[in-house]
Each structure stands twice: as C-alpha cells, then as structure tokens.
Amino acid sequence: MKGTIAFRRKAADRTMKWVFALCALLVILPLFLIFFDLLIKGAKELKVTLLIDLPHPVGEPG
C-alpha cells in the first residue's frame, strides 16, 4: 500500500497549514474588531460641534 502513509503525511501537512492559517487569522481579527467598533461607535458623534463647542458644565445634559 503505497497510498496510505503518503496520504496521511500529506493530510497532516495540509491540516497543519490550515491550523497555522487560522492562528494568523485569529491574531489579526481583534485588530479589525477594535478598529471597526471604534469607527462605528465614534463616527456618529463626529460632528463639527464636537470640535468647536465648549464642554457642558457638570450636571447639564450634553
């Protein structure tokens, strides 16, 4: 049986390749999660008034 051992070795190789690829994906995923979360939550507050208005005093609705 020439096939089985060679197949097993190749399968292991291919599996590990995908495992490493998954590692790389998991490593860079948080960057995008953080970035887009900040962007989505921050974008709607980004108005001109944010830059030119003075901060409201404490206790006054902002």
Partner 1 sequence: MARKTGENIKDLLFERTTAAFAFLVLFLAMLLFAVLLRESLPALRKFGAAFLVTGTWDPVLDRFGALPFIYGTLVSSFLAVLIAVPLSVGAAIFIDEFAPPWMKTPVSFLAELLAAIPSVIYGLWGIFVLVPVLRDVFMKPVTKYLGWIPLFKGPVYGPSMLAAGVLLSIMIVPFILSVSREVLATVPQRQKEAVLSLGGTRWEMLRIVIGQHCIPGIFGATILGLGRALGETMAVTMVIGNRPEALLSLFQPGYSMAAGILDGGSHRQRVHRGRRGRLSFLPRTRRAHPLRDDLRREPRGQVDPREDGRARLPGDLT
Distance CA 13, CA 19 (A): 10
Would you give the binding string for partner 1 spanning residues 8-47, x where CB under 8 A is met?
Answer: -xx-xx--xx-xxxxxx-xxx-xx-xx--xx--x------
Q: Which residues contact 62 (CB under 8 A, 6 or more apart)?
A: 55, 56
Smaller CB distance to partner 1: residue 10 or 53? Answer: 10
Contacts of 55 (CB under 8 A, 6+ apart): 62
Residue 7 contacts partner 1 per CB under 8 A: no
Residues of this chain that bind partner 1 (CB under 8 A): 9-10, 12-13, 16-17, 19-24, 26-28, 30-31, 33-34, 37-38, 41
